[in-house]
Amino acid sequence: MEQRFDVSKLIPDGYKAMYGVHTYVQNSGMDLGLLELIRLRISQINGCAFCVAMHVPLGRKFGLSEHQIHLLATWKEAPVFSAKERAALAWAEAVTVLVSQDVPDAIYAALQSHFSAEEIAKLTFCIAEINAWNRLMVASRTPPAIADA
């Protein structure tokens, strides 16, 4: 597929603003491995090859195991995720997909047993951030950066 447009070149101020959101999330004090786990899963859901290619190596850098990376699409059945990671992944999926325009109370309740209200808000900001990036990259058909093996 051919790239439709390059948002960073066409509207650099908008791109900088989006990157500012990313910078806030990165510096929010949340575990960077957990944030990459969320970003990678949401990018899989949204079919964003650019973001999947970006977040796999970042996930490795911030502590995700090869098993976690390879089994993420099947996290509900895979035994390599902690209860805390599972709660965050369930939240990320529910906020991303918004079935019936709702995020179920049961998913929120499970999240509360692992995260404070402030941490939940920060996780939700991360979810909103990566969903926005996914939409920008998918709509523009920005190709993934793939290093030669």
Domains of the chain, CATH where assigned = 11-140 (1.20.1290.10)
Q: What is the dihedral of CA 122, 128, 131, 135, to 10 degrees?
A: -140
pLDDT digits 0-9 by tens, 77-102:
999 999 999 999 999 999 999 988 89
Tell me the C-alpha distance between 30 and 119, whole Å: 7
pLDDT at 145 over 90: no
Average pLDDT over residues 127-146: 96
pTM more than 0.75: yes
CB 122 within 8 A of CB 30: yes
Average pLDDT over residues 5-30: 97
Arithmetic mean of pLDDT over the chain? 96
